[in-house]
Amino acid sequence: MFRSLNSRLLLSYIAITLVCLILVGLGLLLFVRPLWTGATYLRLEAAARATVPLLLRADSLGQRRDLLAQAAADQEVRILVLDNAQMVRFDSDGAWEGQRLELPARAAVLRNRTRGAFTAPQGGQWAFVGQVVAAPDGGRQVLLFASPQGRLLMLAWFAENLLPPLLRAGVVALVLSVLLALLISRSVAAPLRRVAGAAEAIARGKTGTRAPVSGPAEVQGLARAFNTMAAQVEAAQRSQRDFVANVSHELKTPLTSIQGFSQALLDGTAATPEATARAAHVIHEEAERMRRMVDELLMLARFDAGQVEMARERVELGPLLRACVEKLGLQAQTAGVALELDAPEQLFVVGDGDRLAQVFANLLDNAVAHTPAGGRVTIAARPVAGTQAVEVTVTDTGEGIPAGALPRLFERFYQVDSARPRGQACPERSRRGAGLGLAIAKEIVEAHGGKITAESVVGLGSKFTVRLPLEERER
């Protein structure tokens, strides 16, 4: 019944208003006795002011009695006349005449009149205002104006005097709360409906849809978060499409080569032993290339799924980098490239030594492959001054990387060779890959809490920097 935001806000505002009215009513009931007593004294004072001047003009006892009876009826009070012994000589109701009242010994005096409360002969509390007047015989009498003080009378006075304005104020508050609830609910619900509409549009395939940022701060935050999510979903879908297209493209070339040379073997075109060996060699190389690409794709898929577990071991960078240099030594020697290592001893990080070796071997392999004969590749490790980190740099004197390619260097399937101007590549040593090695290196470094960056100048060389946190015991 109350599922919509409008109805819930409306119900909550009405409930708050009613609760406040009930609390105000209960609070008034707690303080109604002094209010009611004060109002009673004011009414008795008014009756005394109106009656005493008339009483002074009465000449006989009978006139006084008639005047007091009429005044009691007009003022809706009970009028009593007491002698010096506090005996009731006149009662406008006629019930207490001849009985003695026990008035308080120290009644409050205000404007020559006393006020207080007494207990009636038959029980019950009465408030009174008294004034001393001259008796017809020349003596003095006490004229009392009294009113009962029962609980039911107090509640009746509350219902008559305070409840009506309280109810009128409650009606006004309810109307205002309903209007305010409608206004607020619309200001909140409308932006939420627009966000919901954008979500439905994306569900229908309109991935470029964005929710307008409007409404209260919380709703604006929701809209911005939704837009961020939508942008990420759109990017993920685009990446997925690019991924499928790139995989298909990368697999097409080796599959075509394998199919062509295997067909040559089947139909006898490769009739000589040399041709047969060449066909078998090409098939083997292309199959190996496909295997490497599948392994790399599986590795990236495991990173995306969070299934790659990194060892948390104490790793000394010096021996690890030295092993990588030795592994690439023959390749560098064949290419005529000098391979140098500059790393101090006792430099430790915590991580997976095999994975880190994979990163540095990949960087060295790329540097050697793209450095001409006579060039130099240097791998160095140094603590970063003022921080708790170490930087490992791989610097080459190769052809460099175009500035436009640097922002996309670590994207999957992105190949720098396609972005290089002609004449700057080294086709005799470049082994065309699938463009996944740097993407995997980035995932491994970030899994260690580090960061990998690249900078380059075409014609002068490139520099890759891997920053890793130092081992805590060395900090």
Q: Which tens digits make up the pLDDT trace of 289-314?
A: 888 788 877 887 887 777 778 888 99
The CATH number of 5-161 is 3.30.450.20
Let me know: does 55 contact 143? Beta carbons within 8 Å. yes
Report how far residue 400's alpha carbon sits from residue 416's, in angstroms, rounded to the nearest whole number.
10
| Number of H-type helices and E-type strands within the chain | 10, 13
The CATH number of 222-304 is 1.10.287.130
Residue 108: per-residue pLDDT: 59
CA 174 to chain centre: 31
Please give the angle made by the CA atoms of 50, 51 and 57, to the nearest 5 degrees: 115
The CATH number of 313-474 is 3.30.565.10
Residue 429: per-residue pLDDT: 37
Q: Which of 245, 463, 252 is nearest to 364 (CA)?
A: 463
Higher model confidence: residue 329 or residue 302?
329
Burial class (CB in 10 A: 0-12, 13-18, 19+), 255: middle
pLDDT at 240 over 70: yes
Higher model confidence: residue 278 or residue 8?
278
pLDDT at 253 over 70: yes
| pLDDT above 70 as % of the chain | 87
Residues of the chain with CATH 3.30.565.10: 313-474
Residues of the chain with CATH 1.10.287.130: 222-304
Number of C-beta neighbours around residue 392 at 10 A: 26
Structure-derived torsion over alpha carbons of residues 341, 344, 346, 347, reported in degrees to the nearest 10: -80
Paired tokens of 342? 């500059």
* Three-state DSSP state, 153: helix
pLDDT at 324 over 90: yes
Helix pair 151-161, 5-56: axis angle to 10 deg: 110
Kindly report which listed range (107-111, 209-213, 279-283, 363-367) carries the lowest average pLDDT score. Answer: 107-111
Residue 374: per-residue pLDDT: 93
Q: Which residues make beta-bridge pairs with 147?
A: 127
Residue 422: per-residue pLDDT: 33
Query: pLDDT tens digits, residue range 118-160?
Result: 888 877 888 888 888 877 666 778 888 888 875 656 666 666 7
Query: pLDDT tens digits, residue range 155-207?
Result: 666 667 777 887 888 788 878 877 877 777 777 777 888 888 888 888 888 87
Residues of the chain with CATH 3.30.450.20: 5-161
pLDDT at 50 over 80: yes
Residue 420: per-residue pLDDT: 44
Question: Is this structure's pTM higher than 0.75?
Answer: no
Residue 33: per-residue pLDDT: 63
pLDDT at 335 over 80: yes
Residue type, 426: C
Kindly report which listed range (38-47, 53-62, 253-262, 298-307) carries the lowest average pLDDT score. Answer: 53-62
Spatial CB neighbours of 116, under 8 Å, sequence gap ≥ 6: 103, 104, 107, 108, 127, 128
Q: Which of 115, 100, 140 is nearest to 47 (CA)?
A: 115
